[in-house]
Amino acid sequence: MQLFSIGVWELKPDGTQKLDAGGAPIPSYDQDTIEGYAHVFTGWTYPTLPGATPRKHNPKYFVGDMLAVDANHDFTGKILLDDAADLPGKPMPSDLAFAIHTVFAHPNVGPFIGRQLTQKLVTGDPSPQYVARVAAMFDNNGAGVRGDLKAVVTAILADPEARGDSKGGAGYGKLREPVLYVTAAARAVGASSDGVFLAQQSKSLGQDLFNAPSVFNYYPPGYVVPGTTANGPEFALLNASTEINRYNYANALAFGTIGPIATLPGATGTTPNWAPLQALAANPDALMNELDALLMHGTMGGDMRASILSAVTAIPASNPLMRAKTAYYLTISSPQYQVER
């Protein structure tokens, strides 16, 4: 409930906190609620291993549905979210379904999930009005259906704040988190990779893939960018060290040789394909147009383009590979690329 559905405070439809008469936030649940759900979940164990006899406490096995063990379940009544009464004596699957429905029906779900989806897909600091429009779509997709995620994602991506003039604002967009920064840069030059180098680089940038430091993930959705009032969740991973490592990664990918690890069976290393960009290097303007489309979706500003063009044209036309690599490096290492808009 805290992390994936409703959060710890009651929310207005626009994602801002509700306040009590004294101006304090209102908890969305308390210890009694937690204990109510804990009793609902009693008696469930892992699926039975193939060929094994079902037990009250099966060993870890993740293929299939969990097993309901009546002897271990609390069949008494429970009090759940918003004082919803879970009646006694219900079969375990019905008990579980009722409990999940009480969470799904909670008014916090739309703004809580909608805001975080918007942060992931569009901008780290969506306005309350933006969140309210997304939450309204979660509550009702226009056909009376609650929780239609296809409609919710469509609403997020089609919203005026995702496509309008606000995209030019200083507080708009989101920092590319390390895994996405690393993989997007490699994909843009058609790199073939065994994944080892990419995983190492993501870790050095502050994101050890599949090994988040806590259940709260790699960074909090409410992180405020230092020196501003803007939310920027991914900026929680950015510091003097990880920022330098971003440049080091860009430099290694553009100019280095990333061979396989000799002790790793089947290792192939990481090898970009420079041929498409190299073929354009004789025409610097064409090269910049390609990088603008390939990496920045046509958003490259005039000053940025002029700076990169100056560096590219300083390299002799007889060295098209260095021209291509330089233009690519300067693009992916730029703040304009690292902050996705």
Tell me the residue range of the domain where 325 lies: 275-340
Q: Determine the pLDDT at residue 191.
A: 97
Band of pLDDT at residue 60, cut at 50, 70 and 90: very high
**Domain presence at residue 244:** yes
Residues 258 and 324 in one domain: no
Distance CA 190, CA 63 (A): 35
Domain count, the chain: 3
Domain boundary among 81, 104, 127: 104
Residues 238 and 181 in one domain: yes
Q: Determine the pLDDT at residue 214.
A: 92
Distances (CA, A) of 77 to 90, 99, 230: 9, 12, 45
75 or 215, higher pLDDT? 75
Residue entry with tokens 């997709």: 141
Distance CA 196, CA 81 (A): 45
Q: What is the per-residue pLDDT across 17-30, written as a single tens digit (0 to 9) for each?
A: 999 999 999 999 99
Average pLDDT, the chain: 96
Q: What is the per-residue pLDDT across 259-279, written as a single tens digit (0 to 9) for each?
A: 999 888 999 999 999 999 999
Q: Determine the pLDDT at residue 166.
A: 63
Q: Determine the pLDDT at residue 341.
A: 86
Residues 318 and 293 in one domain: yes
Band of pLDDT at residue 295, cut at 50, 70 and 90: very high
Q: Determine the pLDDT at residue 165.
A: 73
Residue percentage of the chain with pLDDT more than 70: 99
Q: What is the per-residue pLDDT across 133-180, written as a single tens digit (0 to 9) for each?
A: 999 999 999 999 999 999 999 999 999 999 877 676 777 899 999 999
Q: Determine the pLDDT at residue 172.
A: 87
Q: What is the mean pLDDT of residues 18-46?
A: 97
With beta carbons less than 8 A apart as the criterion, state whether 194 and 270 touch.
yes
163 or 2, higher pLDDT? 2
**Domain presence at residue 130:** no
With beta carbons less than 8 A apart as the criterion, state whether 5 and 113 touch.
yes
Which is nearest to 291 in space by CA: 282, 302, 301, 300?
A: 300
Note the pTM of the prediction, 2 decimals: 0.89
Task: Name the token pair of 260.
Answer: 């396989």
Residues 252 and 335 in one domain: no
